[in-house]
């Protein structure tokens, strides 16, 4: 079983790109480590009357291109190295999408599922009280991540405004629309992923209307299944899975009915189709595969059985380093997470812009601007692949590292 430190993986990816770009040693060393790391304790009054002390983090990896941008996770297994890695990948994600932002990440070690709504609110506000000196619309802009959501962002924004005594909706993104959120955010990650699939299909001469499978049928996976048919003009969804199991239907599911069943029952169980183990969904032979669940879903143990033509990483880090090499040798085109899931941070950036001007766009405008931004990003990565003769992940990382390094040099940091 593969075991590795996620931050060491991220560092290795940056190092590969730095060598390919022939970066000087100081620039390389600067990009291998976060600029700033903050660790704080977060005391919270619990419903039972006692106080629990939680441990929180905020890491700003690089801000040469603009304010740090990245989510806040509430997860029991959160570690500083996980947050470092995610902050590094966020720096690469904003750079490959060519957004005027840096990268950051935060988290609290907790089991959000075991907290009441009142405890969640008090934890959210306490986190902001600890992090307030570090964040702001022109400094560091958090967003939701694992086990956080728009309501938590609303509490956090309100706490920040209470502390600073001023209206600052742009301090966090993915807020409810009534208090500064944007149209088009709910499906942005999935929409961006499908756009990158469209561009990959064009470049590789793959029929986007063939078969596809979705591993992880949460928000991103459901929306990707719906948008694949809508944006690509067709396609047959032949396999899906959630945390409880998988379903297979070689003739294709009615995706809308499948999504409605999942939303109504909370599970795929009971929907017509052949029940299969979750991991089998990765190995169905569908032309396009969307890993949209947890990290490390594709490993050296199962990569050799994957037969997709294109893998679109909607999840963060779904492919281990060794699996990446196996897929590349097999001729499978992997759209890396820093490109495939960049739709979310791109529309979050649009939200920041709209908050700054107090002028909001309609959904069609958001969708059109997202399409243009990610299409340009795809073309930049494709050009790097051709120029450098490397696989998509290294090409995307190279585009990102080159842009961040250039900003660091222009500022005189190195």
**Section 296-309 average pLDDT:** 92
Rounded distance between C-alpha atoms, residue 288 and residue 307, angstroms: 9
What does the block give as tokens for 233?
Answer: 């003009």
Annotated catalytic residues are 105
Please, are residues 233 and 209 in contact by the beta-carbon 8 Å criterion?
yes
**Section 292-321 average pLDDT:** 90
Please, are residues 200 and 206 in contact by the beta-carbon 8 Å criterion?
yes
Task: Identify the pLDDT of residue 3.
Answer: 61
Confidence bin at 295 (pLDDT 50/70/90): confident
Task: Name the CA radius of gyration of the chain, rounded.
Answer: 21
For residue 205, pLDDT over 70 is answered with yes
What pLDDT, in 10s, does the model give residues 34-87?
999 999 999 999 999 999 999 999 999 999 999 999 999 999 999 999 999 999
Q: Alpha carbon 389 to chain centroid distance?
A: 26
**Section 177-187 average pLDDT:** 95
Task: Identify the pLDDT of residue 293.
Answer: 86
For residue 19, pLDDT over 80 is answered with yes
Percent of the chain with pLDDT over 90: 89
The full 3-state SS of 87-125, as one line of letters, equals HHHHHHHHHHCCCCCCEEEEEEECCHHHCCHHHHHHHHH
The pTM is what? 0.94
6-169: CATH, from 3.40.50.10860, 3.10.580.10, 3.40.50.1000, 3.40.50.2300: 3.40.50.10860
Of 20 and 242, the structure prediction assigns the larger pLDDT to 20
What does the block give as tokens for 123?
Answer: 């934890």
Domain with CATH 3.40.50.10860 in the chain: 6-169
**Section 19-29 average pLDDT:** 97
234: Cβ–Cβ under 8 A, 6 or more apart, which residues? 208, 209
Q: DSSP of 348-389, one letter per residue?
A: HHHHHHHHHHT----HHHHHHHHHHHHHHHHHHHHHHHHHHT
Domain with CATH 3.40.50.720 in the chain: 188-331
For residue 351, pLDDT over 90 is answered with yes
Task: Identify the pLDDT of residue 2.
Answer: 58
- Specify the CATH architecture of the domain 188-331: 3-Layer(aba) Sandwich (3.40)
What pLDDT, in 10s, does the model give residues 92-101?
999 999 999 9
Confidence bin at 321 (pLDDT 50/70/90): confident
For residue 5, pLDDT over 90 is answered with no
Task: Identify the pLDDT of residue 218.
Answer: 87
Please, are residues 156 and 125 in contact by the beta-carbon 8 Å criterion?
yes
Rounded distance between C-alpha atoms, residue 353 and residue 110, angstroms: 32
Task: Identify the pLDDT of residue 146.
Answer: 87
Confidence bin at 297 (pLDDT 50/70/90): confident
Backbone angles phi, psi at 267, to 5 degrees: -155, 160
For residue 279, pLDDT over 90 is answered with no
For residue 111, pLDDT over 90 is answered with yes
Average pLDDT over the chain reads: 95
For residue 287, pLDDT over 90 is answered with yes
């Amino acid at each position: 079983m593969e075991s590795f430190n996620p931050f060491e993986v991220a560092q290795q990816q940056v190092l590969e790109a730095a060598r390919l770009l022939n970066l000087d040693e100081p620039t390389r060393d600067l990009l291998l480590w976060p600029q700033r790391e903050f660790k704080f304790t977060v005391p919270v009054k619990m419903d039972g009357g006692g106080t629990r002390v939680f441990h929180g983090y905020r890491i700003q990896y690089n801000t040469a291109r603009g304010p740090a941008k990245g989510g806040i996770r509430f997860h029991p297994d959160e570690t500083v190295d996980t947050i470092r890695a995610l902050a590094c990948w966020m720096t690469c994600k904003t750079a490959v999408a060519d957004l005027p932002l840096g990268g950051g990440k935060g988290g609290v070690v907790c089991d959000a599922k075991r907290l009441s709504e009142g405890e969640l609110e008090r934890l959210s506000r306490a986190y902001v009280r600890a992090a307030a000196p570090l964040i702001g619309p022109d400094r560091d802009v958090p967003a939701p991540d694992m086990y956080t959501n728009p309501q938590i962002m609303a509490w956090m924004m309100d706490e920040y405004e209470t502390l600073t005594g001023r209206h600052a909706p742009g301090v966090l993104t993915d807020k409810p629309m009534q208090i500064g959120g944007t149209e088009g955010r709910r499906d942005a990650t999935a929409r961006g992923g499908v756009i990158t699939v469209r561009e990959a299909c064009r470049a590789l001469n793959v029929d986007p209307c063939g078969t596809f499978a979705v591993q992880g049928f949460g928000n991103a996976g459901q929306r990707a299944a719906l948008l694949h048919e809508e944006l690509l003009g067709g396609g047959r969804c032949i396999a899906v899975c959630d945390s409880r199991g998988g379903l297979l239907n070689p003739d294709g599911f009615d995706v809308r009915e499948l999504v409605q069943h999942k939303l109504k029952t909370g599970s795929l169980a009971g929907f017509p189709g052949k029940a299969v183990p979750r991991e089998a969904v990765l190995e169905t032979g569908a032309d396009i595969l969307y890993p949209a669940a947890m990290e490390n879903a594709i490993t050296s143990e199962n990569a050799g059985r994957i037969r997709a033509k294109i893998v679109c990483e909607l999840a963060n880090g779904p492919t281990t380093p060794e699996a990446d090499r196996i897929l590349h040798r097999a001729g499978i085109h992997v759209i890396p997470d820093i490109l495939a899931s960049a739709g979310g941070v791109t529309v979050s950036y649009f939200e920041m812009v709209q908050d700054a001007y107090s002028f909001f766009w309609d959904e069609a405008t958001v969708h059109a601007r997202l399409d243009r931004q990610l299409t340009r990003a795809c073309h930049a990565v494709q050009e790097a692949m051709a120029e450098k003769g490397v696989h998509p992940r290294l090409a995307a990382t190279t585009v990102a590292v080159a842009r961040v390094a250039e900003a660091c040099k222009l500022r005189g940091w190195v």
